[in-house]
Amino acid sequence: MTDSSRLPNVVVLAVDTLRADHLGCYGYARPTSPNLDALAAESVVFDTAIATAIPTMPSFTTLLTGLHPYRTGVVSHIGRRRLAESVRTMPSLARERGYVTAGIDNLVVQGSGRGTWFARGFDHYSGFLYRPFGDQSRELSDRALDFIQAYTGRPLFLFVHYWDPHTPYGPRPPYDTLHYEPGSGPVDLRDVIAIRPQYYEAFLGDMKLRHPDDYAYVVAQYDGEISQVDEQIGRVIEGLREAGEWERTILVLVSDHGECFGEGGFYFDHHGLYDANTRVALMMRLPGFPPRRVGALVSTEDLLPTLGDLLGLPKPPYRLTGTSLVPLLRGESAPVRPFVVSAESTRQASLALRTPEWKVILPITEDARGQPIPDFYGRPRDPRPLLFDLLGDPGETRDLSTEMPGKLEEMLGRLRSWREETLRATGEHDPILEQGLSLPYDRFMERLLARR
């Protein structure tokens, strides 16, 4: 695949807030994703792909650089840290390899210019402001098809960032009722609102729900937005076929994070380092590679080194934290990595270390100056770590930290060693402790109430 005269196209479709287990190809019972399911049948599908950070900015920074957030310092959404100029991004390496590079994304525009590195390396950066309740994913697919048509016959690297199914959920008909079964929700929406009435009344009110008292309707809106974007991804795939480019295109489908529907006491949002958030959809459709399912633990750090191996991209003058997945693409069974560390510090601060079998979540409750860091709801945070047996309890409903103190200390020790080694490598202070939260509860509520 590295012959410069016949470089394959690379199309990366990044779907914001897409929870892997709400897709049919990942086992969901509702028919939310016919086009993605068909794509999965032609792809190498990774069943245990873990994001190194939530939410969007730190997650996509890792995706595009192959570096863990503790290496880049970008650990929060619209935080104080910028990506160093010396860091090479996926589009910049692709352009050096001979690609025309095009990005359809909003992180430069939406971040008031603070996320300028998301345009780095693109010949064409097609920015937009995210607008819910409309048909924006269709507009983004139209732009993608324009690039595909304009550069047919030339190697194209195309990155498209879709925002469905991000909150506020508001799919257009027929998707608003496509998956709705009245009263079928497992919890009462009043119980959700009671967790933090000021927050949930404003948050749900922002969605302008037709059935504001039915939990099942809220989830159906999320699923409807998945179906809405699934249709648009199908249009891009069909456009590649019609242009005669499908058989020479590597297509990557990835999400930056998922969404919680009760995990850890979070609803309709993507904070807390539970698998509902950190386990992401990742599939790669590659000419010459047969479709298969891969169960090995992989990270969003791994995409750049994988494409680097496949395409012969220039190597950055520093070591990536990601690992090439090419052996797994070839069907080799050796695990790529023993664990993935995930971070959050936007609306609360935590670290998690996840192995194939276990996870420890460590709340971070004080910054470097000893100031308290509250939880997602603005309350004092319980500092006690959580331990989960992922094989026996994949939903992470039972904390085993008091029952298994030896296992807890083992997992915390691995996380502590990783943290110390990573900070020694950077020569810098812990980025979460130094920066704190970029969007604490009070500031988020000001923003939310201002737009109502």
Q: Tell me the pLDDT of the chain (452 aa) as tens digits.
A: 444 558 999 999 999 999 999 999 999 999 999 999 999 999 999 999 999 999 999 999 999 999 999 999 999 998 889 999 999 999 999 999 999 999 999 999 886 677 899 999 999 999 999 999 999 999 999 999 999 999 999 999 999 999 999 999 999 999 999 999 999 999 999 999 999 999 999 999 999 999 999 999 999 999 999 999 999 999 999 999 999 999 999 999 999 999 999 999 999 999 999 999 999 999 999 999 999 999 999 999 999 999 999 999 999 999 999 999 999 999 987 777 999 999 999 999 999 999 999 999 999 999 999 999 999 999 999 999 999 999 999 999 999 999 999 999 999 999 999 999 999 999 999 999 999 999 999 999 998 888 76
Res 2: pLDDT:
47
Rounded distance, CA 301 to CA 69, Å?
9
* Coil vs helix vs strand at 18: coil
Contact 54, 277 (CB under 8 A): yes
Q: What's the pLDDT at 5? A: 54
Smallest CA-to-CA distance from 11 within 315, 327, 287, 277 is with: 287
Kindly give the residue spans of alpha helices, DSSP state H, lying in 212-371. Answer: 215-242, 275-278, 303-311, 326-329
CATH of 4-329, one of 3.30.420.40, 3.40.605.10, 3.40.720.10, 3.30.70.360: 3.40.720.10
What number does CATH give the domain 340-450?
A: 3.30.1120.10
CATH code 3.30.1120.10 region(s) in the chain? 340-450
Residues of the chain with CATH 3.40.720.10: 4-329
Pairing of strands 267-269, 386-389: unpaired
In angstroms, the Cα distances linking 147 to 89, 130, 310 are: 20, 20, 23
Please state, in angstroms and rounded to a whole number, the distance separating the CA atoms of residues 194 and 255. 30
Token pair for residue 230? 């699934």
| Burial class of 410 by CB neighbour count within 10 A (0 to 12, 13 to 18, 19+) | middle
Please report the pLDDT score of residue 34 as a whole number.
98
Q: What is the model's pLDDT at position 1?
A: 46
